[in-house]
Every structure is written in structure tokens, then in C-alpha cells.
Amino acid sequence: MTAAGGTAGPGIAAARTTSAGNGTTGLTIETQGLTKRFGHQLAVDNVDLAVPHGAVFGFLGPNGSGKTTTIRMLLGLAAASAGTVSVLGLPMPQRLHEVLPRVGALVEGPAFYPFLSGTSNLHRLDAASRHAAPATRTARVAAALERVGLSRAAGKRVHAYSLGMKQRLGIANALLSPRELLVLDEPTNGLDPQGTREVRSLVRSLAADGATVFVSSHLLAEVEQICTHAAIMSAGRLVAQGPLAELRQAGETRIRLLTPDAGAASEVLLRLGMSPGRGTPEPDGDVLTAVAAASRLEAPEDIVAELVAARVRVRGFAVERESLEERFVALTGEGFDIAQ
């Protein structure tokens, strides 16, 4: 299943998922042509998501790139302007009542009744579900609070909670019942480093239990640490998706050459089929960079041999893989923390 829909830049062909076959088999979330229009603004534009079963799926993108709107459509909170959504193999929002009891969600930050305690809030939200057994409610609420480390603050009014505590309570709400899919929108927002680490290990343990976890984030490092798969949104479009390893490999390998003989070196590189570009000069000489794959030679060290044979003084030579972060920035056209 190809993603990206031709919107990706050169050298980053649409990534492939490891989905076991076509259709809904093996995919926990699948959208086709998902589009959301608000007036003239296209918030989500023709998105084909494919989240494999059992994946920890990172949903990346700058703020305002359409992540939360996509999540709202996945959960049946907002109607799609066009396209289809299937969650846990069932069409949404048509089969919402069968799907949502199996899904735990944290959408656009936690939200609670400030005048109720943490426990009362969870009781209320659990009572909202037709499928949650009232008999086990007290035990399940206590277990969820325990799991996010809020047991001691459970009796306090949420009014007195810090943002991090509310975030934990929001995650506890998502864990009130055993879930097959967890949709966590910015789960570490407002958490201290300790809390961030706990969320990471929580996500890993949920995945180990067999749940599929869909984590949206604008923090690349977070996704790199916990995810098996990722998708990147930019300005409403899905620009790449696939297993994290493949996304990393799809980046270009470049050579970086430090030499005082920039002119001669350029000629050699051009002869080898590369189109060298100038980097920032260093005290030892000029810096040339080029895409390694464009070379007619297999091994990068052969390039060095050619250069030396042409009497180019090579003072530095490196083969550099584009980092995931550089790639994401290249795809989204901006830094990840830039708010719109």
C-alpha cells in the first residue's frame, strides 16, 4: 500500500507499510482519501493512513498540520468531507458503537470537570460508556489511576491538578477498559521528564500487551524512541509513512569532501556523475557535498581514489546519512516546534 500520494520530494519515494495484504486485514486503522474542509480551508487533504496491527505508530507533523482533525475523524467526533475511515476493521463512524468501546483515546489534551475529583471524573466518563460494566467500575478506576501514578491525588478536585497530573488522568481515562487500540494525541504534553519517561514505558507495555498504539506528536525524539512506524503530516497532507527503519533508510546518503582544490575536485565529481554543491568553507579548505547515489562508482572509497589520482588534496572525506530529523524538516518544510 503506497502512502504519500506523490507529494513526497525527490529521493523519498512513497514508503511501504508492512501490512499483511490489502484491504482491512492486518490494518488497525485505514483511511482512504480522507479529507476535511472547513469553509475554504483544507485541514486534511486526501490522507491514506495505514496503521498495521500491533504497531506503535507515530503520527508526526508540525502544529496545525491536521493531526488532531484526522484523529477527530478517526474517532467519529467530526465527519469527513470525503474519503473513508476504517478502525479495527470496521467502517467509521457507521459502526462507532462497536469500535469505540475497544478504543482508548486522549484527544487534544485532557479535559475534565474541575469541580469533581480525579476518581469522580473517571467514574463519570466510564458511566458514559454503555459497554463498561458498572460492577467492576470502582476497581477499574482505581487500577487506571494506579497505572498512571495518580492514586494519591485521586481524591483531589481536578481544579487543583497541575497540567501534568491532568495529562496523567487523561491517560488513565484511556486505560479504563482493556483496549485494542489507543489513540494518544500529544500524550507527553506538559509532563516533566520523569512523566515523559513513564509515558514511554507505558506505551511500550501497552504494545507488549498486544494493543496498537497511535501516538500523535510534534516531537520527533519522542516518536523515534517509542515507535515502530510513523507517518508525517504537513499542511494537511500525508507526506510519508512506513516502518521507522524504512523511513530512516529512505534518506539520502551524501558525501562530504574537505579540500583546498575545490575546482579540480568538482571536475572529478562531475566526471563521476555527481553534481557537487558548495558547503560552508572551513579553515582547511572548501567543502563540497554531493549525493553519493549519483556516483557511477559503487563504494565511496573509490571516489577518494579517483580524487587522489587526479591530484586533489583530500583533507577530509565523510559519508553522511541524512538524519531522520533533517528528513522530516525537509518534508514538512519547517522545524517541528514551530507553531502556526
Partner 1 sequence: MPNSASGAPSSLSLLGSELKTLFRRRRTAAMLVALAAIPVLIAAAVRLSSSVPAGRGPAFLDRISQNGLFVAVTAMLVSVPLFLPLTIGVVAGDTIAGEASLGTLRYLLVAPAGRVRLLLVKYAGALAFCIAAPVTVALAGAAIGASLFPVGPVTLLSGDVVQPPEAALRLVLIAAYLAVSLAGLAAIGLFLSTLTVVPVGAMAATVVLSVVSQVLDQLPQLEWLHPWLFTHYWFGFADVLRQPVLWDSFASNAMLQAGYIAVFGALAYGRFVTKDVLS
The residue range among 173-181, 187-195, 200-208, 245-253 that interacts with partner 1, by the rule CB under 8 A, is 173-181
- Count of residues of this chain found to bind partner 1 when the rule CB under 8 A is applied: 39
Among 7, 24, 177, 228, the residue binding partner 1 under the rule CB under 8 A is 177
Among 6, 10, 41, 128, the residue binding partner 1 under the rule CB under 8 A is 128
| 162 scored as a contact of partner 1 (CB under 8 A) | no
Residue 33, CB-side half-sphere exposure with 13 Å CA sphere: 4
The residue range among 133-141, 144-152, 242-250, 289-297 that interacts with partner 1, by the rule CB under 8 A, is 133-141
Q: How far apart are CA 304 and CA 295, in angstroms?
A: 12
Q: How far apart are CA 99 and CA 92, in angstroms?
A: 8
Under DSSP, the state recorded for 280 is: -
Q: Count other C-beta atoms under 10 Å from residue 284's C-beta.
A: 12
Q: Cell numbers at residue 254, please?
A: 551524501
Q: What is the dihedral of CA 248, 34, 217, 183, to 10 degrees?
A: -110
Cβ 42 to partner 1 shortest distance, Å:
15
Nearer to partner 1, 9 or 210 (CB): 210
Among 24, 32, 89, 111, the residue binding partner 1 under the rule CB under 8 A is 111
| 210 scored as a contact of partner 1 (CB under 8 A) | no
Q: How far apart are CA 317 and CA 255, in angstroms?
A: 7
Nearer to partner 1, 76 or 243 (CB): 76
* Bridge partners of residue 35, in order along the sequence: 82
Cβ 84 to partner 1 shortest distance, Å:
17
Q: Count other C-beta atoms under 10 Å from residue 128's C-beta.
A: 8
Element spanning 287, H or E: strand 286-291
| 90 scored as a contact of partner 1 (CB under 8 A) | no
Beta strands in 70-113 (DSSP E): 82-87, 90-92, 103-106
**Residues 221-250 as x/- pattern, contact with partner 1 by CB under 8 A:** ------------------------------
Q: How far apart are CA 335 and CA 187, in angstroms?
A: 20
Among 57, 112, 161, 214, the residue binding partner 1 under the rule CB under 8 A is 112
* Bridge partners of residue 194, in order along the sequence: none
Which three-class secondary structure state does DSSP give residue 326?
helix
| 173 scored as a contact of partner 1 (CB under 8 A) | yes
| 42 scored as a contact of partner 1 (CB under 8 A) | no
Nearer to partner 1, 115 or 310 (CB): 115
Query: What are the residues binding partner 1 (CB under 8 A)?
Result: 72, 75-79, 96-97, 100-101, 103, 105, 107-116, 123-134, 136, 140, 173, 177-178
